[in-house]
Amino acid sequence: MARMPTFDPINYLVAKRFPLLLNASSSPFADEDAQKRFNKRQEQVEEIVRELRQKSDDEIDALVSVERKKEAEQEAKRIADREAALFFNRRDSDADFEHWSRAAYWSLEEGVALSFGKEPTLVNWEKLLPYRQVSPFAKRYRKRRDLVGRAAAIKQIYDTNFPGFFLGWAKRNGMDVPPNLVDLVEKNGQQIADWPVLLEMANKRTEEAIESGKRICEEAIESGKRSFREALDSGRKMHAEALAAWKANADELREAIRTLTTENEQLKLQQASVEPEPEKPINAKSRLSLLKLILGMAIDGYRFDPKSSKSSLPGELVDDLALIGISIDESTVRSWLREAASSVDFKFPE
């Protein structure tokens, strides 16, 4: 059974010093001068071998490490030179950021190419396939493309995305993207943020709005109390007018708080669509109210006919919701409409 040759450090160092003792283009035995040159080289080799054998193992290991480091540096330079010569590293493969920052959307493949600063029409996976085993850039491109595809599969991003949305997702996932491209996209009015960031910002704005509403309410109540005391001093008539004004103001404030609270609940529902939370059971009264809302909006907004056995409304609702980034199964929509029609008394408007 054949055995793998063992590593001989002295033979390795001699070979690095004299890489071509023999070569096919010139025989050392062709003439007397060639024979002399070969013999002299052999003497040099034997002298080097004697010197090396007098060194300690640590000294030999150190010399081997130096030669291997040189080899690694030469190989790295060879790979870098070869990589630099490939088409996707030439200047004419750089992306036109001015153009792409103004695009209404990017496809996934365009987003990957632009995240590397490459022109998508010239640099894409189809054209990089022949280099996937030899080019470091092609290998990085394949891995990033894989991450993008997986994110799209679970709707973190979509098949087409706003430039700012795609860049926000890429930055949040630790991907280096060209700063010039980010600046131009922001300059064109797009926010560099994806769903989690946008949701966090929306929650913060809602909390600030609620706090502001509470302060306004407290200030208004204090103002109403002062007005109430002044009205008492001015007489029954002015008291009644001030009291009525205060009540109206308080009603408006309460309505504002209810509106803010409703908006906050809607934002929480949106958050739940991104990061699902355990469902809470709906009591019978709340469920009936929900069914009334569903049926009322379907009839008034879409002219839904509850008595019809076949309706295209579920599909229309799914399509309309998809336009604003909301995904829902058509069978789910049909089930809710059917339950609403059977549970709620209704009549068509005149």
Compute how many other C-beta atoms are within 10 angstroms of the C-beta atom of residue 109. 17
pLDDT of residue 186: 95
The DSSP call for residue 93 is G
* Higher-confidence position of 116 and 251: 116
In Å, how far are 17, 48, 50, 151, 286 from 61, measured between CA atoms? Answer: 16, 16, 16, 48, 80
Among the ranges given (42-51, 263-272, 321-330), the one the predictor scored with the smallest mean pLDDT: 263-272
**pLDDT grade for 24, boundaries at 50, 70 and 90:** very low
Among the ranges given (6-10, 152-156, 269-273, 320-324), the one the predictor scored with the smallest mean pLDDT: 269-273
The span from the CA of 322 to the CA of 333, in Å, is 13
Report whether pLDDT(183) > 60: yes
pTM for this structure?
0.43
| φ/ψ of residue 118, rounded to 5 | -100, 150
Tokens of 97: 């950021």
- pLDDT by residue (tens digit) across 123-145? 999 999 999 998 999 999 999 99
| φ/ψ of residue 347, rounded to 5 | -150, 150
Q: Which residues contact 148 (CB under 8 A, 6 or more apart)?
A: 108, 111, 112, 157
In Å, how far are 108, 110, 181, 194 from 120, measured between CA atoms? Answer: 10, 5, 14, 22
Helix (H) or strand (E) holding 161: strand 160-161
* Higher-confidence position of 139 and 201: 139
Report whether pLDDT(302) > 60: yes
